[in-house]
Structure 1
Amino acid sequence: MNRRAALQASALYLIAFAAAAAGRGAEFDARAWSAWKRRFLSADGRVIDDGNGGISHSEGQGFGALLAQAQGDRTAFQQIEAWTRANLLVRRDHLMGWRWHEDMGVAPEDQVTATDGDLFRAWALLRAARDSGWSEWAGQSEDIARDIADCCLRPDPRVAGSPLLIPGSASRADAERVLINPSYIMPRALRELGHAAARPELIAAADHGETVLAELAALGAVPDWVDVTPEGYAAPVEHDYLSGYDALRVPLYLTWSGNAGHGAVKRGFDMLAQADLPDHVAVVTTLGGVLLEQSNFAGYAALAELASCKESGKTTGVLSVQPYYPATLELLAALAAREGGACMQ
């Protein structure tokens, strides 16, 4: 598909997707959003990961901006974006340094990027201008999208012309082995940004990413990290070969992208359902499905509800004591239910 055809196809996809999504889902819970802000958002716009030593990172800033836009909270959006610009834009490109410590800011070794954070920040900026009408952010997403396309895509060693989304601009990738994190593949964000920035390779990365996720799901639980080689998938060099806290997001992003019938959504639900304690879900398993860790945090349960097409519409867990990550996933799951279109399972 040539550049013009890819962009035209993307435009038709976005029109159809918006029509499909219009009638679905739980309302975003304003009380839960207020509770999330009280617990995890500082007065100057820093999203605090209390389960990780109180650091901040590009993922949290991207998620926070997206949630603020979705809630129509212009003040919070402005605060989050202002903090991000003042503290994480330490590179020569438009991507963020991935981690910030209160006592040292972004250390030299943390100036590397995390693609999911950049992807969600860019998507939040696009939505702010396009959907919320916050005109001061018009065009702000495009430079980020172009840098993601230029710095964070690599060829699949198995399939000529098919781009893989890599975890960061400095992530290990060569002709023989490309490290990927399957949970960074957010097809809807990639497609919308690819269309807005006239970068069809981002659209291609979404399409090929869905194929990769289907292939991985056919093999077993989707891993947090995996190497792609000319012969297929292999254990990553520098990470445990497990399905855990990262991979939990795979069914979330596919459902949010209008693809609830994807094989990785069913596989994700099966993984979450491995728990053997009441009111718990599995959060870490082997790729063969052997249970290693389980949790009763409401945010993880919300992912299981979403993956099973159960629309509870409740985000009460954010009001209880659960740390940043499950609390944020709970709000994202509610948003995905609202925006993800008809449930097809």
Structure 2
Amino acid sequence: MAQIAASPLLCSASAPAWAAPWDAWDAWKSRFLGDDGRVVDDGGMGISHSEGQGYGLLLAQAFGDRNAFEAIEAWTTRHLLIRQETLMAWRWELERGVTDWRTATDGDLFRAWALLRASRDSGWDAASAEPIARDIAALCVAPDPRAPGEPLLLPGAESRRDGLRVTVNPSYIMGRALRELGEAAQSPILVRAADHGETVLGELAAAGFVPDWIDVTTSGFAAPADHDLRAGYDALRVPLYLVWSGRRDHPAVARGVEALMPSDDATGIAVTRDAGGIVTEHSDLPGYRALLSLAACADVSVAPQEMNSQPYYPATLHLLALIAKREGASC
């Protein structure tokens, strides 16, 4: 049985144009993927988490790498599927195993989407995404306190939610994944969560600030009770997911470009801003620059050495931006 399958991503360009991305994927695997399928976050003291396994699975599918896909899914199944439903435990550590059994919705969302794409687009014999999609719909969606008929995507199954206050992570709103999973699982609430989530992103952008975390209350947005109010490494993903979802025209994309632009006296990307919009941290890592290029309609490229010059998170975002450029809204 062939182990490297063609994918829409690889077929969308000539072989020479894809030599560098393919080599970059190999470099990413060499640094961050163990032979057993564990994705290692070297910026997080070598831990593994559901986000990394979900991202790794999606990358393997997009690059047509069935060996890596099956290894990642096998490790995930053995080590993170310890709950009664199909959602993953969030954190795993060497010699300790699972150290946080709670869920993180972005990891589950990307794992389910990768499984759906593998079966639907790559023709691989992958586990069904539908039970995961149904569990996300049942456990990780809550009514918007301002409009109870509208669903908000929660950051996890255990996240703060009640009729008066709901905690939201705007960077977990990946509309394309939610819509495709909602359609596949016949779960209209996921499609509605994508639509309403993008509305919320538009409201935040209009207010001038798309943060990492925000609480939605009966009277509007409020500083998150359990997190600092800032726009940082989480919020960087908002324009990435919107462009990937075909929403390049969304106001949060333009707001994302503004937020990423460096201060006058700095050369790196503005990766963190405080609640007043003041830049508190810059970075010149190419993965973060790729996000700005994607949002600003500039070229997105990747070289293998760039996987060796940056930690897990920006390196992974770099490859995801490349895929979004191929699959998302054109300029």
- Alignment TM class, shorter chain as reference: over 0.9
Aligned to 1:29, the other structure's residue is in SS state helix
Matches within 5 A, 1:266-281: 266-276=254-264, 279-281=267-269
Paired residues of 2:24 and 2:302 also in contact (CA < 8 A): no
Aligned to 1:233: 221
Paired residues of 1:221 and 1:286 also in contact (CA < 8 A): no
Deviation at 1:260, TM superposition (A): 0.8
Aligned to 1:106, the other structure's residue is in SS state strand
Find the partner of 1:180 among 158, 161, 168.
Answer: 168
Deviation at 1:276, TM superposition (A): 4.0
Alpha-carbon distance in structure 1 between the residues aligned to 2:243 and 2:303 = 18
Structure 1 regions of 5+ residues with no counterpart? 1-17
Alpha-carbon distance in structure 2 between the residues aligned to 1:264 and 1:169 = 26
Alpha-carbon distance in structure 1 between the residues aligned to 2:207 and 2:261 = 18
Paired residues of 2:40 and 2:48 also in contact (CA < 8 A): yes
Deviation at 1:314, TM superposition (A): 3.1
Aligned to 2:23: 31
* Segment drifting more, 86-95 vs 308-317: 308-317
Aligned to 2:142, the other structure's residue is in SS state strand
Deviation at 1:321, TM superposition (A): 1.6
Given the two structures, how large is their TM-score scaled by the length of structure 2? 0.93
Deviation at 1:342, TM superposition (A): 1.8
Matches within 5 A, 1:65-104: 65-104=57-96
Alpha-carbon distance in structure 2 between the residues aligned to 1:333 and 1:54 = 24
Deviation at 1:279, TM superposition (A): 4.1
Paired residues of 1:226 and 1:233 also in contact (CA < 8 A): yes
Matches within 5 A, 1:282-321: 282-316=270-304, 318-321=306-309
Aligned to 1:8: none
Paired residues of 2:300 and 2:325 also in contact (CA < 8 A): no
Note the aligned Cα RMSD (angstroms). Answer: 1.6
| AA at the equivalent of 2:183 | H
Please state if 1:330 is matched with 2:322.
no
Paired residues of 2:25 and 2:304 also in contact (CA < 8 A): no
Tell me the alpha carbon deviations over residues 63-111 of structure 1, each in whole angstroms, 9 at most, x when there is no partner.
Answer: 000000000000000000000000000100000000000021002xx11
Paired-residue identity, % = 60
Tell me the alpha carbon deviations over residues 192-245 of structure 1, each in whole angstroms, 9 at most, x when there is no partner.
Answer: 000000000000000000000000011122000000001110001110000000
Paired residues of 1:58 and 1:114 also in contact (CA < 8 A): yes
Alpha-carbon distance in structure 2 between the residues aligned to 1:35 and 1:324 = 11
Find the partner of 1:137 among 95, 105, 126.
Answer: 126
Aligned to 1:215, the other structure's residue is in SS state helix
Alpha-carbon distance in structure 2 between the residues aligned to 1:253 and 1:221 = 17
**When the two structures are aligned, how many residues end up with a matched partner?**
317
Paired residues of 1:222 and 1:287 also in contact (CA < 8 A): no
Aligned to 1:250: 238
* Segment drifting more, 304-313 vs 228-237: 304-313
Tell me the alpha carbon deviations over residues 240-282 of structure 1, each in whole angstroms, 9 at most, x when there is no partner.
Answer: 0000000000000000000011111111110110334554100
Find the partner of 2:159 among 161, 167, 171.
Answer: 171
| AA at the equivalent of 1:68 | A
| AA at the equivalent of 2:98 | V
Pair 187,55 (structure 1): closer, same or farther in 2 beyond 3 Å: same
Paired residues of 1:220 and 1:288 also in contact (CA < 8 A): no
Matches within 5 A, 1:102-181: 102-107=94-99, 110-134=100-124, 136-137=125-126, 140-181=128-169
Tell me the alpha carbon deviations over residues 129-165 of structure 1, each in whole angstroms, 9 at most, x when there is no partner.
Answer: 000010x216x10000000000000000011310000
Aligned to 2:164, the other structure's residue is in SS state coil
Structure 2 regions of 5+ residues with no counterpart? 1-7
| AA at the equivalent of 1:39 | R
Aligned to 2:5: none
Paired residues of 2:206 and 2:251 also in contact (CA < 8 A): yes
Alpha-carbon distance in structure 2 between the residues aligned to 1:63 and 1:85 = 15
Paired residues of 1:59 and 1:117 also in contact (CA < 8 A): yes
| AA at the equivalent of 1:70 | A
Aligned to 1:137, the other structure's residue is in SS state coil
Aligned to 1:12: none
